[in-house]
Structure 1
């Protein structure tokens, strides 16, 4: 469920063992609004695996708080794997030189997350600083992890201050809305079919998608819509995306189309064993998604459980819906047997793939 800015979730944090402090949580959109109003926080803890969105936030923070001509003096970059946290705090406590405000960007995997390194950190120095941070310093911790270590006092203190922001992958619908907005920014609207074709061809990496949307927009022309035919014409599919389409054709009984895709992959010098490995991976994902959604997991929860992007889970769920778990398990077993036979030379590789695909389509 997305955050409603008009309904604050409340956190109650024990301060000095006596008082309860009530602090509203904010999301990325609210934090950006604060920054645009000229009211940045003195502490941010940014975590997540979606690097593009996280970096986008940092860029906006820099652009709004530090004039370009002052950035050499005002921006400091540090890393807790190389620098003790007390040195980071000392930097934050030092008044800025010739600039109104300084920005300290700190890479971290140990102070707020569960990573380990050889550096000894006096975390109590940071906790004390977090009680009353300087307004002239903006301290930003950057953590590339899908979660923080909730047991740590630093995480609890950062949440109490309201400065924790997550940058996790979009859900399937959120991703499609994001693509639509990126296309509209360039005055090149995309309909649902074009968006799905783009995601199926290019994958879900946001940096890649931005580049491809820019290319499509230039091709379509100012104010012109981008359609699925343009996407297919301009955006090359990866081997993984081609195999996904191959499996899609197989389970829909489109043997000729699937075989054509197979021969195209072989022409591109893709190894049959690699193609089979990707087929096995896709069938396994379909089976896992079917099992999890059958146990009332949402697609977002299934994605988290399997370590997959929610959009990939959405597509796998749509594929798996057409077959029961027994059929998928049977395909997986036969594909694994073929993998062994191919690697031991008991079957000719291309012939083995052709027979497996025809068997799957026949069912």
Structure 2
């Protein structure tokens, strides 16, 4: 079951006794957990009706004992247990003993006044395990995966609606480009932009460029976009801004090389028939980053990309050995890319 269906069920009063939250989108996980709390526990009861445990320090028995204990001055209770690595194939470093057989027994006859939420810091569960199979059958395992390109745009639009603001045409794409598609950062930056434009205000691309804080990685991503679009003046302006921010030229070189390497990987996988969503899983990148890198890569052949990576390797050696001044060498490379 996906998290949207699970959240809708909770809103409609059809909550499950156990949820196992896993996947890479930690922000969506926390949103889901807060949704469960908001819908089931009154604000003045949360200090005693919501329990939190760390399974690297606390046994599973303790969590289940808490769940089976009647709630105090509340109709329901929520027990949240993080670091539930026993659902994965990872080797646990903790010496805490977890009796999984007791959880299997509990799953057969859970109490109706408690909800247990296990949080797993892993991309996937080990489906060979009996407990994972049982959770899948009961639809208790909830994956939190990166949003697709379309889902991400809709997610931002819904957030903007809550703040009472809109984006001008094309501005959402620029917003994602500048923030890196990380939901926590997107939320923080959207809040800032919304407060700036005020209720019923419109967020423009120009405003995003002025106010959104960009990491070195995102600045290099934008720099690459300007290079691909043959806007070298803009690219050099971004490069000089990075230098003013005391970013090391070799670090910038490595980030540029990583982007060209991603373009090369995507182009090779696309030629093998992979979809962008499949490629994202293959190379461990966000779907939106894959979309942009795919568009950037269309300007280059496989041979050109391989050649640029070779040039960057040679430039890296010359910069580190003092044969070329670092900033100048990288600037000349940027100017030579389109040729």
Which bin holds the TM-score, normalised by the shorter protein?
over 0.9
Of 37, 43, 50, the match for 2:25: 50
Of 165, 172, 182, the match for 1:195: 172
Tell me the residue number matched to 1:66. 41
Q: Are the counterparts in 1 of residues 178 and 222 from structure 2 also a CA contact under 8 Å?
A: no
* TM-score, structure 1 normalization: 0.89
Q: Give SS of 1:361's match.
A: coil
| Structure 1 residue 192, shift from structure 2 partner | 4.3
Tell me the residue number matched to 1:123. 100
Tell me the residue number matched to 2:61. 86
* Structural RMSD (CA): 1.5
Q: Give the Cα separation in 2 of the matches to 1:63 and 1:213.
A: 23
Q: Give SS of 1:155's match.
A: helix
Tell me the residue number matched to 1:76. 51
- Whether 2:285 is the aligned partner of 1:308: answer yes
Give runs of ≥4 in structure 1 deviating > 6 Å.
none
Q: Are the counterparts in 2 of residues 111 and 154 from structure 1 also a CA contact under 8 Å?
A: no
Q: Deviations over 1:27-74 (max 9, x none)?
A: 222222221122321111111121111111111111111112222221
Tell me the residue number matched to 1:238. 215
Of 234, 238, 242, the match for 1:257: 234
Q: Give SS of 1:200's match.
A: helix
Q: What number of residue pairs does the alignment pair up? A: 337
- Whether 2:75 is the aligned partner of 1:100: answer yes
Q: Give the Cα separation in 1 of the matches to 2:293 and 2:35.
A: 35
Task: State which drifts further: 184-193 or 132-141.
Answer: 184-193
- Whether 2:139 is the aligned partner of 1:150: answer no
Q: Are the counterparts in 2 of residues 45 and 142 from structure 1 also a CA contact under 8 Å?
A: yes
Q: Give the Cα separation in 1 of the matches to 2:294 and 2:121.
A: 28
Q: For structure 1, which runs of at least 5 residues remain unmatched after alignment? A: 1-25
Q: Give the Cα separation in 2 of the matches to 1:46 and 1:142.
A: 5
Tell me the residue number matched to 2:315. 338
Tell me the residue number matched to 1:8. none
Q: Deviations over 1:98-118 (max 9, x none)?
A: 322111101134221223233
Q: For structure 2, which runs of at least 5 residues remain unmatched after alignment? A: none
Q: Give SS of 1:264's match.
A: helix
Tell me the residue number matched to 2:184. 207
Task: State which drifts further: 252-261 or 67-76.
Answer: 252-261
Task: State which drifts further: 215-224 or 137-146.
Answer: 215-224
Task: State which drifts further: 132-141 or 74-83.
Answer: 74-83
Tell me the residue number matched to 2:327. 350
